[in-house]
Amino acid sequence: MRLSPVFLLSATNVVHFPSQAKTFGAPEIAFLGRSNVGKSSLINALLGEKVAHTSSTPGRTRAINFFALHEGTGERKRARPALILADLPGYGYAKISKSVASEWPNFIEPYLREREALALAVCLVDTNIPPQKSDRQLIDFFRETDRPFVVVGTKADRLSNSALAKSLTALKREHEVDDVLPVSAKTSAGVKALWARLMSVDQV
């Protein structure tokens, strides 16, 4: 299955968030993680093309970058996207304190808290490092706000099977989640399973 992405806009303020007229009310999926977690690589692996580079162009790194994902291509492309992908700025290495978005520009928290179309948050955690406090705080935020989220473990190819199993166990325990889906942007392992999860989001 292939969805073709169309870059919509970069938002640095709540007033920029795409309107229903632009998204056709399609469900939105947000991608979040610490800087360097492998977010751009994973988005590119999911979409099969280099779209996430758009997000790293200067001025867009601190923005929410919205992409419309369309079924079909060319003439057969439907007007209403199947999904909207929201690529959020990576958070820093320091912990996220008090307000989840305290290190982030102030439009991030309203997006995560209030955006009606937000159907799923994909929280990326690196399987190659121990569980991070900042990741836990983000996960707690979604728990507290009752927002649907999924935890995805990146760079799984770098670990042996047993080391990966250990890492996933530690991540589940520390973040108190039932599941961490391992993926690799390098080998595409887990990418199909992640797609299946993304395509199963509730229409809002």
3-class DSSP assignment, residue 103: coil
The candidate with the shortest Cα–Cα distance to 154, out of 174, 182, 178, 113, is 182
Verify binding: residue 153, ligand GDP, rule CB under 6 A.
Answer: no
Q: Which segment (13-21, 97-105, 113-121, 179-187) binds ligand GDP by CB under 6 A?
A: 179-187
If the CB atoms of residues 22 and 195 are measured against ligand GDP, the closer one turns out to be 195
Among positions 26, 29, 37, 159, the unique one binding ligand GDP when judged by CB under 6 A: 37
Among positions 112, 119, 121, 185, the unique one binding ligand GDP when judged by CB under 6 A: 185
Q: What angle do the packed helices 191-199 and 39-47 form, to 10 degrees?
A: 80
Verify binding: residue 109, ligand GDP, rule CB under 6 A.
Answer: no
In one-letter notation, the amino acid at residue 152 is V
Among positions 18, 27, 33, 182, the unique one binding ligand GDP when judged by CB under 6 A: 33
CA 67 to chain centroid: 12
What end-to-end distance do the CA atoms of the chain give, in Å? 22
Binding pattern to ligand GDP, positions 79-98, x when CB under 6 A? Answer: -----------x--------
Q: What angle do the packed helices 133-145 and 161-175 form, to 10 degrees?
A: 50
In whole angstroms, the minimum distance from the beta carbon of 41 to ligand GDP comes to 3
Q: For residue 121, what are the CA distances in angstroms to 11, 58, 151, 162, 183?
A: 17, 24, 9, 28, 16
In whole angstroms, the minimum distance from the beta carbon of 86 to ligand GDP comes to 14
Among positions 13, 35, 73, 97, the unique one binding ligand GDP when judged by CB under 6 A: 35
Verify binding: residue 60, ligand GDP, rule CB under 6 A.
Answer: no
Pairing of strands 28-33, 149-154: unpaired
Q: How far apart are CA 135 and CA 132, in angstroms?
A: 5
In whole angstroms, the minimum distance from the beta carbon of 28 to ligand GDP comes to 19
Verify binding: residue 155, ligand GDP, rule CB under 6 A.
Answer: yes
Give the binding-site size for ligand GDP (rule: CB under 6 A).
Answer: 16
Q: How far apart are CA 132 and CA 164, in angstroms?
A: 16
In whole angstroms, the minimum distance from the beta carbon of 50 to ligand GDP comes to 11
Interface residues with ligand GDP (CB under 6 A)?
A: 33, 35-41, 90, 154-155, 157-158, 184-186
